Amino acid sequence: MQVQARGLTFEVRSGGPADGVPVLLLHGFPQHAGEWDEVTPALHAAGLRTYAPDQRGYSPLARPGAVEAYRIPELVADAAALLDALGVGAAHLVGHDWGAIVAWGLAAAHPDRVRTLTAVSVPHPAAMAHALATDREQKARSAYIGLFRRPGTAERVLLALRSAALRRLLGGVGDADRVARYAEPMREPGALTAALNWYRAMSRADLAAVGPVSVPTTFVWSDKDVAIGRTAAQACGDHVTGEYRFVTLAGVSHWIPDAAPGPLAEAILARTGGAR
């Protein structure tokens, strides 16, 4: 379905009991709301109602041109506005990768809108920023961001030879069909630039502005994540003042919703308490 929010039109996948407790699912780069398709059946069976939007830049009718339009405060405001448009006062919140950053921001700034938080792969922005400043391994893991922030160059590199580099980046999601499911939409005019603008608009000031999170929180990390190291992951809990759980999935890649949908659904349900 299409949802109007902040003058933009978002594509949103919904499912589960119409009267179920709502869950907002936020995807990461370079994916879309389809990354939750193997997670949501277990949530629906538990009585939860899910809403998974294609976020700013990923929904074709929510694709502003200016880099500044993709700053973290704008992305967080989108999530809050989507809840308003859906008639949801407060929801369980789940975010993966960049979606986790948005989720951390929403939970910190608007705890009244968030029943619980399950952040996947990416820890609290302050933990990430500290690791980037102090941990040599994390700096190496995050070196790719330098390329992503280069307008034009990143697009050429990632889309060359029928998106060969982009497909390699997505290799951990599964077979060739699953890779294509995410890579092909990025070949549409303007789509990859909009997705990369999330990186180009990112600033230390906006990361630092995300405060402590007081809602009940679970952070799900996988020990084969090439992007996020253990230093950042273990520091995450320092920025949560509410009840906190750190779940590690052994032998799983960064692409947790695709690679381990069952264990992730279990972690989400353990946090949300099902339909309560």
Catalytic residue annotation: 97, 199, 254
Among residues 82, 115, 118, the alpha carbon closest in space to that of 103 is found at 118
Report d(CA 7, CA 61) in Å as an integer.
10
DSSP 201-242: T--HHHHHT---B-S-EEEEEETT-SSS-HHHHHHGGGGB-S
Radius of gyration of the chain (CA): 17
DSSP 122-156: S--HHHHHHHHHH-HHHHHHTTHHHHHTSTTHHHH
Instruction: Output phi, psi for 225, to 5 deg.
Output: -70, 120
Asked if 4 and 85 touch (Cβ cutoff 8 Å), the reply is yes
Asked if 101 and 71 touch (Cβ cutoff 8 Å), the reply is no
Pairing assessment for the beta strands 244-249 and 21-26 based on DSSP bridges: unpaired
Asked if 37 and 28 touch (Cβ cutoff 8 Å), the reply is no
